[in-house]
Amino acid sequence: MKLICCLLALAFTASLPESTVQSRRAVTAFLGTWVLEVDTVPRPVPGRSGRSVGLNGGAFGPQFTLSQDGPELVLTRMLGERKINSAYNIDGAPSRNQELSSVPPTVSVLKFDPKAVESFSIVTRFAEGETGTLEFLFRLSGELLAIEAILSSDDPAKTTRNTSNYRRQRVLAR
């Protein structure tokens, strides 16, 4: 029975496009809980409609978790007292997220570079009628995760960048 299960898993993996297999492998390096390195917090930069990139002390607040749920990478963070889950398709297919009921849903694409398994990006297009994108570039170096938030505009002079550094939270053995 174990042999049959192993053969089925191998056949399934072999049938996936190589980029999907590499993306799923790359995701595992980023899974876990990440805590903001407070001394590296950038000052908030005003963004579109009064929003800022880097509020709450970092790209995703003081702490966030990356987990995998089947074919999705799930980013969980707190916004005040509210828990926000955003899911992104690992295979690069567009993902729709509506983090707040007061704003329209966004469409995001998760991108992995097969040559750089220590990094990936999430590119989000804003609601209809708005221009520009918000890209989060994740770069992993050991236990440190640098996240660069790039808020682009049709006017290159209005493009803003902030980088926040997070450290992987250690799980204490019992």
- Tell me the pLDDT tens digit for each residue of 74-107: 999 998 888 999 999 999 999 988 777 667 778 8
Residue 155 has pLDDT above 50, yes or no: yes
User: For the whole model, what pTM was predicted?
Assistant: 0.75
Token representation of residue 100: 């707040």
What domains, with CATH codes, occur in the chain? 17-168 (2.40.128.20)
Share of the chain above pLDDT 90, in %: 38
How many other β-carbons are positioned within 10 Å of the β-carbon of residue 27?
20
Distance separating alpha carbons of residues 13 and 101, to the nearest angstrom: 38
Q: 131: burial class by Cβ within 10 Å (0-12, 13-18, 19+)?
A: exposed
Distance separating alpha carbons of residues 123 and 44, to the nearest angstrom: 20
pLDDT in the model for residue 44: 53
pLDDT in the model for residue 33: 96
Distance separating alpha carbons of residues 130 and 113, to the nearest angstrom: 28
For the residues of 12-48, what is the DSSP string, one character each?
Answer: HHHHS-HHHHHHHHHHHTT-EEEEE-GGGPPPPEE-G
What average pLDDT does the structure give for the chain? 77
Q: Which residue has the higher pLDDT, 28 or 42?
A: 28
